[in-house]
Amino acid sequence: MKQNCFVCLNVDCKIRGSEQLMNELTGKVTTHSLDVEVKSYTCFGGCDQGPNIVIHPQRVWYAGVKPEDLPEIVESLNGGPPVNRLDTIDPSLKEIIFSLLDTGLM
């Protein structure tokens, strides 16, 4: 199943480097020929814990992502284990965002 990888590019995540993360992630996904689309997102509401990356429809949220985390994230996108140490967002917020993404309304 195709995975959408949403990278928050709103102010708080952006000042922590999310734009660079998105560019690097896009490059790595292309290099590995993964069936993954990397897209920008306006804000997940977890601003103080960014940069935030949400993978849909797999319902995975990685918070506080650093460039050095990207190889493991790419591995997880390629069928590897989830990067559990980056799964730090409150479950109720995750549910709101995952449900919103499920509706397709973004």
- By the criterion CB under 6 A, which residues form the site for ligand FES? 8, 10-13, 43-47, 50, 52
Q: Which residues contact 101 (CB under 8 A, 6 or more apart)?
A: 4, 6, 54, 56, 57
Output 19 or 75, the one with its CB closest to ligand FES: 19
Min separation Cβ 35 and ligand FES, Å: 25
Output 12 or 75, the one with its CB closest to ligand FES: 12
Min separation Cβ 27 and ligand FES, Å: 21
Output 10 or 78, the one with its CB closest to ligand FES: 10
Alpha-carbon distance of 60 to 82, in angstroms, equals 8
Ordered DSSP codes for 39-69: EEES--S-GGG-S-EEEETTTEEE-S--GGG
